[in-house]
Every structure is written in C-alpha cells, then in structure tokens.
Amino acid sequence: MTMKRTIASAMTLAIVGLGQAILPATPGWAQTMRVSSGRAQDTLAVAMNRAVVVETDTPFVELSIANPGIADISTLSDRSIYVLGKAPGRTTLTILGANGELIANVEVQVTPDVAEFRERLRQILPSEPIEVRTANDGIVLSGIVSSGARLDAALQLAERYAPGRVSNLMSVGGTQQVMLRVRFSEVQRSAAQSLAASLSASHGRSQVGTGRFGTQALGTAGLTIPALENSTESQGVITGGFSIGAVQFQVLLEAMESNGLARTLSEPSLTALSGQEAHFLAGGEVPVPVIGDSGSVTIDYRPFGVELTFTPRVVDGDVINLSLDAAVSSLDSSNSVTTGGVSVPAFRVRQTSTTVEMRDGESFAIAGLLQDDFQGSIGQVPWLGDIPVLGALFRSSDYQRSQSELMIFVTAHLVSPTRGEALLLPTDRVRLPNESELFLNGQLTGGTSGASEVARQDFRGGYGYVME
C-alpha cells in the first residue's frame, strides 16, 4: 500500500509539473492549487473545458460538489483532486477529513476559455489592440479598434465563447462623422404649337360658321370679329372679311407657339455620426383635412420641399455605407381635390430610396430620369378638310411636347469638428448700408457683399437641352 501511494504521489507530481510547464500553450493540462487545513474557504478559478488540480496538506476521505453541471471532480490520490470546468458559473467544492472535519470549502468559479479566445482574436485581428478580461461568467472587451466592421467581428467571435454574456467597452478610433452632400438637378422644357382656321358666312340674321370659335350676329353695316372659345391668348390671330352681295364672309386664322423652361437645383448638406440617422427638410407643411370614421374632420400636415434622410456607417477605414432616402416635392394645384368645400392640392414628388457604398470624397449618381411626353391632335370639317390647299381653312392642328431630365448625385465626406473662427456664414459678407449708401446711392448692401457678387453674374445663354 505504501509503495502504491508513493507511486501515485510521484505520478501526481509529474502531472502537476508538466501541467505548470506547458499549460499556457496546450489546453487540457491542469494547474494546481494548494489548500491548507484550517482555512474555511478558498477561491478556485477554472476555465471552461480546462482543469485544475487541488492538493490538500492532509488526506481527505469525502468530496462533494454543489452543482455538477458547472464543474466535475475526480480523485487522483487522497490528497489530490482533479476539477474540470464544464459550464460558466459558480459552485462550491467541500473537502472533508477522516473524522468528518471540514478541511476546506473551495469556491469554484468557471469562466469562459479566454486563452483560446485571445489566440483566435490575434489570428483574425492581429493589428487590433483589444484587451480581453473575464467578469463573473462573461467576457469583457475593451480597447480602440480601427473600424466598426472589426468591432463587429470581435463581438461575433466573443459570442462563440460566451453567448449572451459579452460586454463591449470597445470604441472606434478615427473619424466617425459623415457629411453627405446631395445635389438634385432637374431641367424641364416644354413647347406647344397650334394652327387653326375658321370660316363663317351670314345672310341677314342667319349665319353659318366652321372652326373652333363661337359666332356672333353680324350686323348689316359691317363685320364683327368672332369671340374665341378655347384660347385666352390673342397673339397670332388674323381676321378678315368680305361680302358678295347680301352675303358676308369672315375668315379667322389662329397660330400659336409657346416655349417654357424650368430649372431646379437643390444642394442640401447634412452631417451625422456613424450609425445614427439624420433628417433634413427645406420646404414647408400643407394642412390636409382628414375625415374620420365618425365623420369628424382632423388636420394632418404633409411636408413638401427638399427632404433628406440618411444613415451613414463607416465600415472600414474610409469606406462609408449609406442608407439614403431623398425626395423633392412641390405643390401641384392642377390636380387638386375639392372635398367639403376645401381644395386640397396634390403633390409632385421625385423620390429615391437606396443603399450605396463609397469612399471618402467619392460621388455616386443614385437616380436619373429622362422623360419625353408628346401630345398631338387634328380636327377638321368632314370632307371639306380634305380639299387640297383650301382644306386648311376647315382644319385645325396642335401639339404639345414636354421633356424633363432629373439627376440625383450624392457625395460623402469624413469630417471632424473645427474651430468656429474658421467658418464663414452666408450673412458674413452682407453688410448693412449706411445712410449715404442707402439714400444717395440706392444700395441695399454696404461695401462688397454676397448679393452684389450674385448681381454681377451673367444668366444669359442656353440652359438644359434643345428640342428639335
């Protein structure tokens, strides 16, 4: 028996020595903890799936573990105990002597295996100074990482070792504020042409007429110019008349041509922190009556103008991920709806919603629209309008064409705060005039101002594109 105990003790010492020598690099070997009689309680830290050998200075006869699901125990000898961590948590190991006396109560704390986690973290993110600690049954990560993507990668890896028990104290270094500049550019051009001819004849009080205009009674002393029905313009109208005996004839030729151009340019800029939503609205709100189920009327305000909502995320270095909603809306009274005696205008909206990824200073064209509408009509008197040459007097034609082109560009910049003295406001260059500048010279601004610079610009020339 003595020889067997001596051999067992020698084997235990050999295992302990090997465990102390190679534990930091090789999992599965046990550390040691020595427990002396008379100490009521000791604390033992065990990593999950790792083991610690507990040695007592006196032989023990009985062992018990409060929660076998957290740690498992086995005896190596009457003085050595093998404790294996199974699940994160705390439990108590009780060691009793030969006469039932208490040798020690050991508090066993099983923590996640941060040694293996540190090794995997160094392999995946070798350049990130992330510190790993244990707290109770969880993992605490701290340090400054270079990007949000690497922060997420570290958190996902930590969840593998301590699911639901990871505390994030890391922060992202570098610039994490994004300024977004959006440019709405729209050009609308319209053209319309019409050509109509009308002929009327009268004899006494009877009158016969053709064309798009209304007829009036013609007096016997002279001719009366007919009143136009469908046109509120008087440009391009030529009238004339003649008489043959008692019959009077009147001819009206109407030619109309119109061109229109509209140019819209909006450049809102907005700055937000990475991961935070920002909203911008330059316009107004229109009250819209809403009828409820009980017939009651409430007022709902609908915004219009230039609207921008975006969420930036600095992914890695200077790579920016943008979730963007942009819209330009205006009131459209031509499509208004009247309800309960109240006229509610319609809205003309150009809107886009997308997600893009770009680097600092780069630009994207996120939306574009080229629209070409054409409408034409020809009206004539049956048979008479088909007569060569003279048929033009019994025929009218018109057409309308409209083209619009819309482009939306976005540019993202990583920005940092600056000193207020370096900023220039639009009002800084506008100086109020003194009495002599205002009354004698008729100046609304004094000295060199932003308004005078705009006044010197030449807006003459072609804009948009030319319609053929």
* List of domains in the chain: 33-111 (2.60.40.1080), 114-172 (3.30.1340.30), 178-189+254-378+396-417 (no CATH), 418-448 (no CATH)
For residue 432, with 0-12 CB atoms within 10 Å meaning exposed, 13-18 middle and 19 or more buried, which class applies?
exposed
Per-residue pLDDT of 160-184, as tens digits, reads 888 888 899 988 876 788 999 988 8
pLDDT of residue 38: 57
State the distance between the two ends of the chain, measured CA to CA, in whole angstroms.
114
pLDDT of residue 400: 87
pLDDT of residue 2: 35
**Cα dihedral across residues 29, 33, 37, 40: positive or negative:** negative
pLDDT of residue 458: 56
Q: Which two tokens stand for residue 452?
A: 């005078």
Per-residue pLDDT of 104-153, as tens digits, reads 888 888 887 788 888 888 898 888 889 988 887 788 999 888 777 788 88
Q: Which two tokens stand for residue 217?
A: 């009674």
Q: CB–CB of 93/45 below 8 Å?
A: no
Which DSSP letter does residue 384 get? G
Task: Please state, in angstroms and as integers, the Cα–Cα distance from residue 71 to each residue in 136, 162, 214, 372, following that order.
Answer: 15, 17, 104, 77
- What's the rounded Cα separation, in Å, for the pair 415 and 389? 71
CA-wise closest residue to 150 among 175, 164, 170: 170
The mean predicted confidence, pLDDT, of the chain is 76
Intervals of the chain under pLDDT 50:
1-29, 213-234, 449, 451, 462-468
Q: Which amino acid would we find at residue 397? A: S
Q: Which two tokens stand for residue 290?
A: 């809403």
Phi, psi of 426 (to 5 degrees): -60, -30
| Those residues with Cβ within 8 angstroms of residue 138's Cβ, 6 or more apart along the chain or in another chain | 88, 112, 162, 165, 166, 167
